Amino acid sequence: MDTRLESVREIVLERNPGENEFHQAVAEVFSSLVPVLDKHPEFADASILERICEPERQIIFRVPWVDDSGQVQINRGFRVEFNSALGPYKGGLRFHPSVYLGIIKFLGFEQIFKNALTGMPIGGGKGGADFDPRGRSDGEIMRFCQSFMTELYRHIGEYTDVPAGDIGVGGREIGYLFGQYKRITNRYESGVLTGKGVTWGGSLVRPEATGYGTVLFTQEMLRTRNQTFDGQRVAVSGAGNVAIHAIAKSQALGASVVTCSDSSGYVVDEDGIDVELLQQIKEVERGRISDYAERRGGSVKFVEGGSVWDVDVTVALPCATQNELDEADAAKLVKSGLVAVAEGANMPCTSKAADIFHDAGVLFGPGKAANAGGVATSALEMQQNASRDAWTFEYTEERLTDIMVGIHDRCAATADEYGKPGNYVVGANISGFVKVADAMLAQGVI
Ligand code: NDP
């Protein structure tokens, strides 16, 4: 690695011991930056690299709450306010038992460049807790969210930091969080959280936006090879917010999505996943993917503990979690005729898997570009809140489509400019980084 990048990477490793996911995310961005530093020596002179890897603020707090049996439970809450060069910190909250500072930092770091790519005025941040919502009653979820917000409220605001959902945080949780914020502050500050319900300040298309956006980005990649979604055989992983809407959009464009999964295993449905049934089971009943196989019947099979990437497909959309698709999965998919991969989740492909896709000439859309539709629509929600307006579904979806096409074209043009045509990783990293670095330079050493 280039010495300018290597010295900063060493500082990151030393300052953030044991935070493997964060180290991985930094290495992935740095792998694209040598030509940028050659072209812009002023970035190195102003220590932009070192500053961009150090969050502006990191908040860690205790979240005490009482479960249904009267027992006091303690969780750990996080909010990493990473970079505000382009606007207020913006990024979701994740509630999952695996959450620790390294995961929040990796997500926050990615979010800086993703948000820059959307072209919207938003900085990067991320938060969450090591709380496991699975199996918890509605009352327990509410009490947890209220306790979490009782500390978080003093750090956020529509001009400061605007959280949203992520794994384990959907419309229900955003409702409880917003209610508690409103109660504590005595302000109906709609723009403090996004992903709200449409009757109380939310935006139409926000629930669909990440999944739809991932498919729209993939469609643009396929277009460069004179292909479309029509007739593609698609594997989607996950069965949450991103996965469900990626499945719906793929099928609306003529593809057949034959898989989805959760942490217990995956299903194969050769007739194409029935999205309505999946949504009913996962979002209304909060059931498991095995229930889908059981209820759908016929030849639909549930594979306990297996990997969804064992199924032969032409398009792969990993929409569950980080590092869920490794080099062995990538090699297998390439061998079976894969054409395109787009990351609906954040960093679902290991860096070795991404290398295999690139070497094989498979179209590869990295998460910071391919799943940026969610945060972009959150920014559209903020626009509606600021103007006390509510847009139609059609208009909002049109805006999302324009944004995704814009992100695709910006990544493609930047990759061309830096001599790596078709490499969306290089395009996304450089395009996002240069925009943030320019703003940081202009704003002085802060
Ligand atoms: P949800 O909580 O709605 O769904 C997550 C899904 O992934 C569930 O089916 C879950 O299964 C599965 N999953 C989670 N962890 C694991 C694991 N360790 N192994 C296997 N499966 C797992 O989350 P989202 O759909 O919102 O988020 C999915 C991904 O998309 C995340 O990487 C997130 O950061 C990213 N993302 C989300 C955005 C959004 O707008 N929501 C925006 C941009 C990116 P189970 O129920 O069994 O845990």
- Give me the DSSP letters along 338-357: --EEE-SSSS-B-HHHHHHH
Is residue 250 in contact with ligand 1, taking CB distance under 6 Å? Answer: no
Q: What whole-number distance in Å separates Cα of residue 341 and Cα of residue 337?
A: 12
For 41, left (φ over 0), alpha (ψ -120 to 50), or beta? alpha
Which structural domain range is residue 55 located in?
A: 3-187
CA within 13 Å, CB half, 181: 25
**Contact present, 341 and 349 (Cβ < 8 Å):** yes
Distance 437 CA to ligand 1 centre (A): 30
Residue 94 CA, closest ligand 1 atom number: 34
Tell me the pairing of strands 124-129 and 89-95. Answer: parallel
Q: 148 and 252 share a domain?
A: no
Which atom of ligand 1 is closest in space to residue 347's alpha carbon?
Answer: 32
165 lines ligand 1 (CB under 6 A): yes
What's the chain's length in residues?
A: 446
pLDDT in tens, 395-432: 999 999 999 999 999 999 999 999 999 999 999 999 99
Supply the CATH number for residue 80's domain: 3.40.50.10860
In short, whether 320's Cβ falls inside 6 Å of ligand 1 is: yes
Query: How buried is residue 70: exposed, middle or buried, by Cβ count under 10 Å (0-12/13-18/19+)?
Result: exposed
Question: 125 in ligand 1 pocket by Cβ < 6 Å?
Answer: no
Tell me if 196 is assigned to some domain: no
403 falls within a domain? no
Q: CB–CB of 247/260 below 8 Å?
A: yes
Low-confidence residues in the chain, pLDDT < 70? none
Pocket test for ligand 1, best of 122, 136, 167, 210 (most atoms within 8 A of CB): 167
Q: Are residues 30 and 176 in the same domain?
A: yes
- Please tell me the distance between residue 333's alpha carbon and the centre of ligand 1 in angstroms: 22
Q: Centre a 10 Å sphere on the Cβ of residue 310 and count the other Cβ atoms it contains.
A: 15
Q: Residue 281: CB within 6 Å of ligand 1?
A: no
> Does residue 76 fall inside a structural domain?
yes
CB of 371 closer than 6 angstroms to any ligand 1 atom: yes
User: From the CB of 323, is ligand 1 less than 6 Å away?
Assistant: no
Q: 166 forms bridges with which residues in the sheet?
A: 169
User: What pLDDT score does 1 carry?
Assistant: 75
Residue at 301 is within a domain: yes
- Cα-to-centroid distance, 96 and ligand 1 (Å): 10
CA of 286 to the centre of ligand 1 (A): 14
Q: What is the pLDDT of residue 406?
A: 98
Same domain flag for 219 and 139 = no
Give strand pairing partners of 66. Answer: 72
In a domain, 424, yes or no: no
**Tokens representing 89?**
């910190």
Output the pLDDT for position 115.
98
- Shared domain for 158 and 290, answered yes or no, is no
Clarify whether residues 118 and 183 are in a common domain.
yes
pLDDT of residue 313: 98
Q: Residue with the nearest Cα to atom 27 of ligand 1?
A: 167
431 in contact with ligand 1, CB cutoff 6 A:
no
Is 195 part of a structural domain of the chain? no
The conformation of residue 283, written as its DSSP 8-state character, comes to I
Q: Which is the closest atom of ligand 1 to the Cα of 195? A: 40
Check whether residue 122 and residue 254 sit in a common domain: no
Is 238 part of any domain?
yes
Tell me the catalytic residues.
126
> How many domains does the chain fold into?
2
Ligand 1: residue whose CA is nearest its atom 39: 166
Position 189 scores a pLDDT of: 97
Do 247 and 173 belong together in one domain? no
2 exposed, middle or buried (CB, 10 Å; 0-12, 13-18, 19+)? Answer: middle
Residues 138 and 251 in one domain: no
Distance between Cα 259 and ligand 1 center (Å): 15
Q: Kindly state whether residues 153 and 212 are assigned to the same domain.
A: no
Instruction: Clarify whether residues 38 and 149 are in a common domain.
Output: yes
Can you list the alpha helix ranges (DSSP code H) found in 126-195? Answer: 138-152, 171-185
| Same domain, yes or no: 181 and 217 | no
- Ligand 1 centre from 107 Cα, in Å? 13
Does the pTM surpass 0.95? The reply is yes
Residue 389 covered by a domain: no
37 with 139, same domain: the answer is yes
Q: What is the CATH number of the domain that holds 251?
A: 3.40.50.720
